[in-house]
């Protein structure tokens, strides 16, 4: 059986890092059929839309999507629906990619790259699970209008709707509890039940779903406290799961805590196991085209793709071991470089992973 | 002229820390008339409501409110409108306390208490300004209902409304730009304009208001990026301002980064300069009644009160100098204690500040 992969490099460093991941996938000699299409600003340039019909069709017809990154300051003045990030929002929505897995791992050799004191971060291995198709990201109604109540009736205002339905919360809760069963059986559900109706409901539903997982310990935590505890004692977390908006903030905070966001992959899955795989970092237009971007997050995203969507666990293991080997050999792109290690570029790093496989 | 102060100690360590702040205020021999009233769980116990009518009246009739902290696990099962934190939300709303000032300062002697490497945090002095009476905290409609659209029409759902009107954004933007003029003339406005209508509007209005402050540099940053940059390079910020929800998360993250959240005061002001002053930390029910809580955040909140609402700058200076003096003398409550310093309790710390004045 051939697996069909949509390869969407996108903008900025996207092209460079995805090229390395493709190189790594090719060397594994798996039955993969990869097809590339433009997305984000790159797609806007050629097709007038960040997520052209053809790109979306390709994504829908594929078993998995290998995604680079989208975005560039130069599109900031476009109307919102044409901006690069609409491509990623559109893909999440169209494919129903509701379960976002964002591991925050601190690699042994990169402890020094963290802002945190080594003892607080060494050995960190958290799995953040973010709901990705609900919440205030997609809730209707939203827009601008004249306020009819509030502090300034009659004034112009803008508004958005936060919302979660029971089945949306249930399915992401199941994902979190099941993930915890494969780890240390501990889940932190992050909410703001003390202020928001949506997240009181979230807390209630999560508590109900938890009854089916008596072997997993569940803790509830407010989002402001979670933002603090991540800084204070990140290793106290194991699986942390939350809604789309809070997950956006906390997963980035946690990724940056590790000091090696250039190393962190992510997976966004739908109910059929179809998934979009992308690095946790962005398109970094400031360093694009210089051959210095770290391709490891994308290469590790390819490994996640093999594991989660293609059921190719052995091949995924081979990639992950190869990445550990190149780190152990002291190779570092500039973002993770430190005294005493060897500075390499994007391509050399990709070649090294290929060689290690 | 006598200044009227409502003293609302609240729950947990609230009583202990507020007692020390009152002691400090008393020694200054200012024309203050202080009156105490119950709030939060303590008020629920005696009056059946976290913000009894009498407490609210007292607060409204005062020039300033000195607030301790509210909350205790034991009230978690009460219906939301009776829970302790409704008192603080109710006070903010009733008094129109829209401008929340949350300095995140790292005291020289406490650099070691931070999770961050000393070089990243030493000398940190950020002012976070959080809008406090708008956003999804108070937006209507909110509640539970049957979904009519979205992913699961027909399912039970909960929802909230995020909203900001033009005058709400304008007034907090003016506060931020004016605060920046007294500091290093640099403001970061945090939004999520790439996803939310509310925060695209926020960004647009802030950009307009900025025209009146050509001497202040304005930078826009997405909330997920701000959560990261605070971890990576907190000293790059000076004045950071944002909405209620994002401000809740980022101000706590920043406070914890300093490592000395027990030291950080806050002020919440309305358009008349009336203000509520409280420590940035919570009620810490786990250590309540043991005489070990750090009263310095509350004592420094009293100093902020003198400065912001009572125009008593010299008295405020005296408190702040006294706090620096006790730190320099090596006195530490357990939360900030380290090898080589002297461990003291809540009362000894308050006494030491009084002595230093
Ligand atoms: C680009 C943006 C819309 C997106 C989000 O907010 O979800 C990004 O920050 C992410 O986390 O993937
Ligand atoms: C207690 C809670 C309602 C409150 C808030 O979310 O505003 C608190 O976290 C704060 O920051 O003062």
Sign of the torsion formed by the C-alpha atoms of A326, A328, A330 and A332: positive
In this complex, the residue of B116, B163, B249 whose CB is nearest that of residue A115 is: B116
Nearest residue to A49 (alpha-carbon basis) of A77, A8, A87 = A87
Question: CB of A85 closer than 6 A to ligand 1?
Answer: yes
Using one digit for the tens of pLDDT, what is the confidence trace for B27-54? 999 999 999 999 999 999 999 999 999 9
According to CATH, the topology of domain B115-135+163-258 is: Rossmann fold (3.40.50)
> What pLDDT is stored for residue A312 in this prediction?
95
pTM of the model: 0.97
Q: Which residue has the higher pLDDT, A38 or B261?
A: A38
Q: Give the long-range contacts of residues A307-312, CB within 8 A, separation 24 or more.
A: A308/A101, A308/A267, A308/A269, A308/A273, A308/A275, A308/A277, A309/A3, A309/A63, A309/A64, A309/A269, A309/A273, A309/A274, A309/A275, A309/A277, A310/A3, A310/A30, A310/A63, A310/A64, A312/A30
| Cβ neighbours, 10 Å, residue B271 | 11
**Spatial distance between the Cα atoms of B229 and B242, rounded to a whole number of angstroms:** 15
Q: Whose CA is nearest to atom 3 of ligand 2?
A: B85
Residue B294 pLDDT grade (very low, low, confident, very high; cuts 50, 70, 90): very high
Among B120, B118, B124, which residue's Cα sits nearest to residue B106?
Answer: B124
* Band of residue A93 on the pLDDT scale cut at 50, 70, 90: very high
Average pLDDT over residues B178-188: 97
**Which ligand does the CA of B283 lie closest to?**
2
Q: Where along chain A do its domains lie?
A: 1-100+266-357
Closest-lying ligand to the alpha carbon of A228? 2
* Per-residue pLDDT tens digits for A59-72: 999 999 999 999 99
CATH of domain B1-101+265-357: 3.40.718.10
> What is the whole-number distance in angstroms between the Cα of residue A257 and the centre of ligand 1?
18
Q: Which of A10, A19, A71 is nearest to A46 (CA)?
A: A10
- Residues B257 and B230: their CA atoms lie apart, in Å, by 8
Whole-angstrom distance, CA of residue B257 vs CA of residue B228: 12
pLDDT greater than 90 at residue B187 = yes
User: Which token pair is B59?
Assistant: 């607060």
Instruction: Using pLDDT thresholds of 50, 70 and 90, give the confidence band for residue A260.
Output: confident
pLDDT at A209: 98
Contact check, Cβ <8 Å, A249/B227: yes
Tokens of B198: 């509310």
Q: Compare CB distances from B223 to A133, A140, A249 and report the shortest one's residue.
A: A249
Enter the tokens of residue B342.
């002297």
Q: Is the dihedral of CA B346, B352, B355, B357 positive or negative?
A: negative
Is residue B253 in contact with ligand 2, taking CB distance under 6 Å? no
Q: How many CA atoms lie within 13 A of A318 on its CB side?
A: 16
Q: In the CATH scheme, what is the homologous superfamily, with its name and number, of domain A1-100+266-357?
A: Isopropylmalate Dehydrogenase (3.40.718.10)
Please say whether the beta carbons of B218 and A109 come within 8 A.
no
């Amino acid at each position: 059986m051939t697996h069909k992969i949509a390869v969407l490099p996108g903008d900025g460093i996207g092209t460079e890092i995805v090229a390395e991941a493709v190189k790594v996938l090719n060397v594994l000699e798996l039955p993969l059929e990869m097809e590339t299409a433009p997305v984000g600003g790159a797609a806007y340039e050629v097709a007038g839309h960040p997520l052209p019909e053809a790109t979306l069709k390709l994504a829908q017809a594929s078993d998995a999507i290998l995604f680079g990154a989208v975005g560039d300051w130069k599109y900031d003045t476009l109307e919102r629906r044409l901006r690069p990030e609409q491509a990623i929002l559109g893909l999440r929505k169209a494919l129903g990619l509701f379960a976002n897995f964002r591991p925050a791992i601190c690699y042994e050799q990169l402890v020094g790259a963290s802002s945190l004191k080594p003892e607080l971060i060494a050995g960190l291995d958290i799995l953040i699970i973010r709901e990705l198709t609900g919440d205030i990201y997609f809730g209707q109604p939203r827009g601008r209008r004249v306020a009819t109540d509030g502090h300034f009736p009659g004034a112009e205002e803008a508004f958005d709707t936060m919302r979660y339905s029971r089945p949306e919360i249930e399915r992401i809760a199941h994902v979190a509890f099941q993930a915890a069963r494969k780890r240390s059986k501990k889940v932190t559900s992050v909410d703001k039940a003390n202020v928001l109706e949506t997240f009181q409901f979230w807390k209630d539903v999560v508590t109900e779903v938890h009854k089916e997982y008596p072997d997993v310990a569940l803790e509830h935590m407010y989002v402001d406290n979670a933002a603090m505890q991540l800084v204070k004692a990140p290793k106290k977390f194991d699986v942390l799961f939350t809604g789309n908006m809070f997950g956006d903030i906390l997963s980035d905070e946690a990724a940056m805590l590790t000091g090696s966001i250039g190393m962190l992959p992510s997976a966004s899955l739908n109910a059929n196991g179809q998934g979009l795989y992308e690095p946790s970092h962005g398109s970094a237009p400031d360093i694009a085209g210089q051959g210095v971007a770290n391709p490891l997050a994308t290469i590790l995203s390819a490994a996640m793709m093999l594991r989660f969507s293609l059921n190719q666990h052995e091949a995924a293991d081979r990639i992950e071991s190869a990445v550990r080997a190149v780190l152990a050999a002291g190779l570092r792109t500039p973002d993770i470089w430190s005294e005493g290690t060897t500075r390499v570029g994007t391509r050399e790093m990709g070649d090294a992973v290929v060689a290690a496989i």
